[in-house]
Amino acid sequence: DAGVIQSPRHEVTEMGQEVTLRCKPISGHNSLFWYRQTMMRGLELLIYFNNNVPIDDSGMPEDRFSAKMPNASFSTLKIQPSEPRDSAVYFCASSSRRSASYEQYFGPGTRLTVT
Amino acid sequence: DAKTTQPNSMESNEEEPVHLPCNHSTISGTDYIHWYRQLPSQGPEYVIHGLTSNVNNRMASLAIAEDRKSSTLILHRATLRDAAVYYCILRPYNQGGKLIFGQGTELSVKP
């Protein structure tokens, strides 16, 4: 299994531009999570989906952030317009609700730099 | 969300056991205790979890206090590859796998 796949691995953009981060969960997993990690705030849960439906988006910082999961094998996190304070590593994780541990498998992350 | 408290950092010598403590005095009866670790420049990875009884797997052991207000992650023989940030997390049983990460303990391993 290839694990959780995220693209791009690195993104550098200018303030005001739209940024789209992509995630392919592990096949068969039915929960997907988006996290953001910075030195100041640590690892924060932004939003999670069960069976492609957003369940909890209370961690999404503001309306500039949006996430979609059009099918079981793909999700996007979009920032429009981007700001320098959005610079962080963004992780996607997936898990199976059939697993007793609800173990989450994390992708390698996307390092976003907004200048 | 129930809160956990961990030391900011710990040091260990290679091939010695390591005991990583976690306090969670506000834990509810249905909160699971999960441990994840994050190696440098990688995403977090699952280590172990438990509810009431002590647990063992190939990576580590989890010792849970009888009153469940604290737990300890035990690495039986630390290796250099175990240097990471270790997170102790409480997962409510009814929140669909949602995890709230704290600051964790940064473990360094000396050769």
Per-residue pLDDT of chain B (111 residues; tens, 9 = 90+): 668 999 999 999 999 999 999 999 999 888 999 999 999 999 999 999 999 999 999 999 999 999 999 999 999 999 999 999 999 999 888 777 788 898 999 999 999
Percentage of chain A surpassing pLDDT 70?
99
Q: What is the DSSP string of chain A?
A: ----EEE-SEEEE-TT--EEEEEEPPTT--EEEEEEEETTTEEEEEEEEETTEEEE-TT--STTEEEEEEETTEEEEEESS--GGG-EEEEEEEE-TTSTT---EE---EEEEE-
pLDDT digits (tens, 9 = 90+) for A37-67: 999 999 999 999 999 999 999 999 889 999 9
Q: Which among B43, B95, B100 is the nearest to A106, CB-wise?
A: B43
Q: Measured between CA atoms, how close is A18 to chain B, in angstroms?
A: 24
Q: Which of A107, A65, A109, A58 is nearest to A86 (CA)?
A: A65
Is B101 in contact with A50 (Cβ distance < 8 A)? no
CB distance A102–B91 less than 8 Å?
A: yes
pLDDT at A1: 66
Q: Give percent helix, percent strand, percent coil of chain B, each to the nearest 5.
A: 5, 50, 50
Gap between the Cα atoms of B41 and B55, Å rounded: 28
A101 contacts on B by Cβ (under 8 Å): 34, 46, 49
Minimum Cα–Cα distance from A90: chain B residue:
B43
> In chain B, which residues have their Cβ closer than 8 Å to the Cβ of A33?
97-99
More confident residue, A81 or A101: A81
For residue B5, the distance in angstroms to the closest alpha carbon of chain A comes to: 15
CA atoms of A103 and A91, how far apart (whole Å)? 15
pLDDT band at A101 (very low <50, low <70, confident <90, very high): confident
Average pLDDT, chain A: 94
Query: Which pLDDT score is estimated for B95?
Result: 73
User: What confidence score (pLDDT) does residue B15 get?
Assistant: 96
B92 CB within 8 Å of a chain A CB: no
Return the SS3 of B70.
strand
Interface of A with B (CB under 8 A): 4, 31, 33, 35, 42-45, 48, 50, 55-56, 91, 93, 95, 97, 101-109
Rounded to the nearest angstrom, the minimum Cα separation between B110 and chain A is 24
Partner-chain contact A56 B101, CB within 8 Å: no
CA B30 – CA B72 distance, rounded (Å): 19
